[in-house]
Structure 1
Amino acid sequence: MKIGLTGGIASGKSTVADYLEQLGATVLDADKIAHRLMEPQQEAWQKVVEYFGEEILLTNKQIDRNKLGEIIFNDPNAKEKLDQLTHPIIIKEIEESLKRLEQKKEIIIVEVPLLIEAGMEDLFEEVWLVYLPREAQIERLMARNNLDYQAAVARVESQMPLAEKKDYADLIINNDLSEQELKEELRQLWNEINLNNEYC
């Protein structure tokens, strides 16, 4: 069974993915795949450097993620271009990983922050959304990244609202909970999908 796990900044995607992995899921992290594909001389690296110029590079030829982030955060057109350059390469890599893993009849969870924005829903049998109210999301982002309110709001508003993502989700995981309550919710969910997976 292939499940796409998504959410928004500071919504708790990685917490959910980590716990599901502890319970026995095979987890792929799209961000880690993207980082690997952006290593020097990789295809995505070459395309990004060709477009944005060598001024985004550190002395060791790694992409300066802070510098690139500043560019795309302040320019929606630059962000769109970065997505056009990198998404097809990342999606292809995820597809190949899924093909290798699905033969083992495992429950595979792929954590993809921009799953819906990148139009990747069809890669998965189900899309799960980690959801919490907007104000709770802003508060968690402020605490996690040591940001003031306005900076946190700007980052949250630069993404597709979680409320809109609900329309694309087969299952919504409420993360406006204590850690213990979240773990219990996930444990029950894991037991259910394992049971269903046995009869697939």
Structure 2
Amino acid sequence: MKIAITGSIACGKSTVTKYLLKKKYVVIDADKIGHDILLDFKVKEEIRNIFSEKVFDGKEINRKKLGEIVFNSKEKLALLNKISHPRIREIIIEKLSKENDLVFLDMALLFEANFFDLVDKIIVVHLDYDKQLERLMTRNSLTRKEAEKRISSQLSSDHKKNLADFVIDNNGSIKETEEQVDYILKIIEGEVDDIKN
């Protein structure tokens, strides 16, 4: 069974995925795939053609410079996604196909990139907006305005919550979040056992 873990930026997906990894589950990290493809020669050439040399430090893409451009323009973000999403999708499909049992896909932009068809169930990690904003500003050293722009570039946490099979409320302690994960795992593993029998 393929399960997506998603949520808006700074809502605590990494808390959930770290816990799953600690419990020895397989987790495919879409962010890492997204970062890795920026090292690909063809991707770099396409990005250079659209965004010019200003997003490069020597031969490598400067993700911070690229981020400043795409988070300030929906059109530029759409252009970047047009380059990166097909490659990310291809790699995710390949990685998912190698797993027979329960596998988790950690992907913030699951809905925005229309990748939800790749999974059987969706878990959304939810955090109230004020806490999300505060966490993003602290974590990424952003101004309030910069953080708000990043959050608004994705579907809202409330919207994602409505599209989920399971919701993890991450407004409490880490222990409370982990207890919710354990509860969901019992349900999912019961379904996996039902499928196998």
| TM-score normalised over the length of structure 2 | 0.92
Q: Is the 8 A contact 1:44 1:89 kept in 2?
A: no
The CA distance in 2 between the partners of 1:31 and 1:18, in whole Å, is 14
1:1-200 equivalences under 5 Å are: 1-41=1-41, 43-59=42-58, 61-101=59-99, 104=100, 106-200=101-195
Q: Which amino acid aligns with 1:30?
A: A
Q: Judge conservation of contact 2:72–2:149 (CA < 8 Å) in 1.
A: no
SS in structure 2 of the partner of residue 199 of structure 1: helix
Whole-angstrom CA distance in 1 between matches of 2:140 and 2:32: 20
- The Cα shift of 1:128 comes to 1.2
Q: Distance in 2 between matches of 1:175 and 1:135?
A: 13
Deviates more, 1:185-194 or 1:141-150: 141-150
Tell whether the 8 Å contact from 1:129 to 1:165 is kept in structure 2 after alignment. yes
- How far apart are 1:6 and its partner, in Å? 0.8
Deviation at 1:49, TM superposition (A): 2.1
- Cα offset for 1:66? 1.1
1:141 to partner: Cα distance: 1.5
Structure-2 separation of matches of 1:167 and 1:187: 21
**SS class of match (2:114):** coil
| C-alpha separation in 2, matches of 1:147 and 1:62 | 24
CA RMSD of aligned residues (A): 1.5
Runs of 4+ in 1 over 6 A off after TM superposition: none
Identical positions, percent: 36
Cα–Cα, structure 1 residues 181 and 31, in superposed 2: closer, same or farther, change >3 Å?
Answer: same
Length, aligned pairs only: 195
What per-residue deviation string (whole Å, max 9, x for no partner) do you get for residues 85-136 of structure 1? 11011111101111112xx3x2111111111011111110011111111112
| Structure 1 gap ranges (5+) | none
**1:12/1:130 contact within 8 Å kept:** yes
CA deviation string 1:50-71 (max 9, x = no partner) = 2222332112x11011111111
